[in-house]
Amino acid sequence: MVTSTAAAHKTPQQQTRVLIVGNYCHDVLMQKDTVKAESLGGAASFISNVVNGMSVSCNLVSKVGEDFKYPVDFTPIVIPTSKTTVFHAYFDLAIHGNCHQDRVLKRVSACDPIRPSDLPDARSKFGMAVGVGGEILPETLERMIETCDAVFVDIQALIRVFDCVDGTVKLVKLGETEFYSLLPRIEVLKASSEEAVFMDVEEVRKWCCVVVTNGKEGCKVYWKDGELGIPPFLANQKDPTGAGDSFLGGFVAGLVQGLAVPDAALLGNLFGSLTVEQIGLPKFDSRLLQRVKDEVQRRKMQFLHCERSEYELEFLKPDGHEQFHASLGAAKSTPPFSIQARPWTPSNSPKETEQTPIPHYTAQAKLLANSVYEEPIQTVEGKP
């Protein structure tokens, strides 16, 4: 298993395109106080899976304990005195009118936070702050802003808090956090429609781009001077776990390769739809990935004549956007990927999550069939 230490982790590095910062986790699904499934968790695992699949160079900074038990592509920093972050998702057997199982998410253990000194010395083009267990500190995000040309943040890294007694996960208003003052210095803030109510979107959009995912309605992009809805793709949903993370990975991968924001959001929607069609961390077929990369390259070539900075975000819908959506859909539906399905985009909405059987743990670790990260969680009492 992994053997690196914090001291050995930092080695001279060349500049990477994408820096992903967030801890790996162990996810455990509980029902009637019985373990029903275990999985590799953490937004970083899903995001790096997509970025790697799109052949974008990246680096990942994550901390785990010596008990970390999953093989990963990027060796984490091992903290001998700490345990790996663990989340337990407790499900109520009672089914409510929306056909969604209630659940309470608890952080059972937490690995050390990621500190500024843990980040690589080399600059990165794009930084991604994607913590899930409180591991992103304000000073760490500030350091990312200083060493990355553009920083993308998942709001769950900023607004999650944890009960001091039992670790229950709750959400607080973004304006009440120490991260709020840093918003004018980040490029993009991503949130689900449920998380978006914990910020003033109209205020935040004045400082940075805001991307809100909203189930079958698609995702919506807000910026200072406008907003734009992005259509979904068809998907036969089996497991929503990590869908929003894969969306963010695809979105950034598209921007890295020069796509305009609306086109990059389409790529994000595509990878979100691919993710929900598999149980757990998805394995993307190499032929599918090649078709998608070919379509992205063709799309990029259409705008070589446009004069803009390499990292200047273009928000207006470019000509041919609908055709690009159709071509990505065709790339996905080409056999053996043809499916009978309904529209989907990354969502945390319980109304859009279909109930699926709980996979039982076997010698081959299975990922949770119900998302620890993609469903709404309990909010702080007295707050909306």
- Annotated active-site positions, please? 245
Give which of 263, 260, 266 is closest to 308, Cα–Cα: 260
What does the block give as tokens for 353? 């999550």
Give the span between the Cα atoms of 339 and 286, in whole angstroms: 18
d(CA 231, CA 139): 36
Q: Which of 1, 13, 17, 7 is nearest to 52 (CA)?
A: 17
Q: Which residues have CB under 8 Å from 277's CB, separation 6+?
A: 235, 236, 237, 238, 339
Residues 6+ apart with CB under 8 A from 117: none
